[in-house]
Structure 1
Amino acid sequence: MTSTHEGEIPVPNPHATAEQVEAARHDTKLAQVLYHDWEAESYDDKWSISYDQRCIDYARGRFDAIVPDDVQRELPYDRALELGCGTGFFLLNLIQAGVARRGSVTDLSPGMVKVATRNGTSLGLDVDGRVADAEGIPYDDNTFDLVVGHAVLHHIPDVELSLREVVRVLKPGGRFVFAGEPTTVGNAYARRLADLTWKTTVRAMKLPGLSSWRRSQEELDENSRAAALEWIVDLHTFDPVDLEKMATSAGAVEVETASEEFTAAMLGWPVRTFESTVPPGKLGWGWAKFAFGGWTTLSWVDANVWRHVVPKGWFYNVMVTGVKPDPSPLTSFDRAGS
């Protein structure tokens, strides 16, 4: 059964005003709360997130791509934490995929925690939720066997401090897995493609005969404010080598990175941007099938062709994993004798 700590969860604010957006330009954490509260109720639809086999396979695929095979043979972990959970996409699907038995979700956004725990309830999963700052995780040392996150590290002001907190709350020998983080090169082309798509589509919708395809000006203005916040809340991009160094400096061992989505990202960003300009439900199932099928095909090409040619840092997404050192006498003895 899913539960939340109701006394700790402020009321979400799903509609930021222009004045609040302006204030958020000077307050990073306010920007995070406003943007993610704003997006919470529509986030799953915006990013085509589901909790069926499609996204279960996707989440498990990210885990399998970075975690060694011998670890996977020992699954499931007992207790897991998702940091910056959003709607719970990563952890809820990993639990369904057999990676963990039960978990906790945390986010700076009350709206996201509300949706994530609601999603957990609807799935019948053993999950609880808290509003929490990733730079000060509100759990005791040595609490979790696994900590995960998807597209969260780039929102955190002090990434290394957050990783230190992750290592602290992990049990000795526990592992963290963070996926979906933007690379520096990938972010550059994604922003250009998204901006170009937005401007081109909004202009095209003003042409005669296309008015039914255009959202109301009020919706477009609100989406523009949301887009402005989106660029504000994206604080970092990463070079894989630098991310490895941060994780190691935070106290982790067995640190590894992997990257994915090259041509898939070049399709995905324009598609998602275009969808945000069109009234909900207008595009239909055929469009959804095209978008997902195109992304899947190009992801396969990226993994089987471009991965052997293109530098790791040129892909859009980077993943990182690491382990909390185990100071047990057996481990120390083994190291001394090796």
Structure 2
Amino acid sequence: MAADPTPNPHATAEQVEAAFLDPKLANVLYHDWEAGSYDEKWSISYDERCIDYATGRFKAVAGDKEWPYETAMELGSGTGFFLLNLMQGGVIKKGSVTDLSPGMVEVALRNAKSLGLDVDGRVADAERIPYEDNSFDLVIGHAVLHHIPDIPAAFREIQRVLKPGGRFVFAGEPTKIGDRYARKLGQATWWLTTNVTKLGALSSWRRPQEELDESSRAAALEAVVDIHTFDPAELETQARAAGMVEVRAVTEEFAAALFGWPVRTFEAAVPREKLGFGWGMFAFKTWQRLSWLDERVLRKVLPRELFYNVLISGRKPN
């Protein structure tokens, strides 16, 4: 079997130009580029905070009656955030990470090793998963479906590699309406922050221009790798069409998203050393409180299509 490709964090201008016409190449280049700093960029950790977050997302759509699952594969694992934190939370015993980006697989395996977790990994295309039929008790993913060009093909592959009765769980996917307001908020915050910090009194809050330029280039490529947004009912229909049963989609984050996206964008636009522990706790605690509001109050009165994130789960028939 051929060795997996090696990471390429320094794409040429020609490769980047070609990536604008090839979403899969764009995903490889963008995520190889981001792999080394991805956990820091998205405040990913492998401690109680993110263990609680990951297990909470899983429980919200799949429940917790079947824990632990013996074998699980994460599709589009990135640095391993979802799988590794679910393993630490007792949801999964043995895991496999897969991603189209060699750089992400490399970092995910390094993270797993540092945590002492039983994990292997492969570079993998979600539309042609390199595992045998009936291989896993569970297939999971977080913020991955919106990167995959052919969602129906991916669901068919997920169904194929699941054991009979096996479950799939995907979380962190953008809804059509949620993505619209999140992008507008992010764009407005970026424009305001990068312009206000041009003023002399606030110039120390401005990131170096070369870093801002790099962020802008990354954002341009990000527009290529983010292929889909989802209507919850349509996503359920696609999963059922692939042969899945007991399919259920739920949504979350409305008030939390209205707060979270400007905060994330502001953090990306200013020097990290300006934002200390106090800021981090303020942002996290506020997001937690607004998430509580979303779950306990707003979810009961607002249509599910208004929320930012969609989560979906189902089973392969026995």
Shorter-chain TM-score bucket reads over 0.9
Q: Aligned partners of 1:161 and 1:59: how far apart in 2?
A: 26
Give secondary structure in 2 for the equivalent of 1:81.
Answer: strand
Letter in 2 for 1:30: L
Aligned equivalent of 1:113, options 98, 105, 109: 105
- TM-superposed deviation, 1:12: 1.6
Check if 1:128 corresponds to 2:128. no
1:19 offset after TM fit, Å?
A: 4.2
Shift of 1:259: 0.4
Deviations 1:76-124 (A, max 9, x none): 1100000000110000011111111011000001111011111000000
**Corresponding residue to 1:11 among 6, 12, 24:** 6
Q: 1:213 to 1:9 in 2, by over 3 A?
A: farther
Match of 1:24 in 2: 19
Q: Tell me, yes or no, if the aligned pair for 1:59 and 1:93 is still in contact at 8 Å.
A: yes
Query: Is 1:18–1:225's contact at 8 Å kept on the other side of the alignment?
Result: no
With 215-224 and 117-126 compared, the bigger mean Cα shift is at 215-224
Counterpart position of 2:274:
282
Describe the superposition over 1:232-290 as per-residue Cα deviations: whole angstroms up to 9, x where unpaired.
Answer: 11100000000000000011001000000001011111111111111232211111111
Shift of 1:156: 0.1
Structure 2 CA distance for aligned equivalents of residues 212 and 303 of structure 1: 39
Are the structure 2 counterparts of residues 312 and 138 from structure 1 closer, same or farther at C-alpha, using a change threshold of 3 Å? same
1:226-237 matched pairs, under 5 angstroms? 226-237=218-229
Q: Which residue of 2 aligns with 1:331?
A: none
Could you tell me the percent identity over the aligned residues?
67
Residue among 131, 134, 141 paired with 1:142 = 134
SS at match of 2:273: coil
Report the TM-score, using the length of structure 2 for normalisation: 0.97
After TM superposition, the structure 1 = structure 2 runs for residues 160-199 of structure 1, keeping only pairs within 5 Å, are 160-199=152-191
Tell me the equivalent position of 1:336. Answer: none
Confirm or deny that 1:77 pairs with 2:62. Answer: no
Instruction: For 2:9, give the aligned amino acid.
Output: P
Identify the residue that residue 263 of structure 2 maps to in structure 1: 271
1:50 aligns with: 45
Tell me how far 1:294 sits from its aligned partner: 1.1
TM-score (norm 1): 0.92
Runs of 5+ consecutive residues of structure 2 not aligned to the other structure: none
Q: Distance in 1 between matches of 2:12 and 2:253?
A: 35
Instruction: State the distance in 2 between where 1:19 and 1:196 align.
Output: 31
Structure ID, larger Rg: 1
Deviation of residue 74 (structure 1)? Answer: 3.2
Which of 240, 253, 260 does residue 248 from structure 1 map onto?
A: 240
Partner amino acid, structure 1, of 2:29: L
- Contact 1:12/1:37 (<8 A) preserved: yes
1:170-224 alpha-carbon deviations (Å, 9 max, x no partner):
0000000000000000000001001111111111111002222211111111110
35-44 vs 11-20, which moves further: 11-20
Secondary structure in 2 matching 1:42: helix
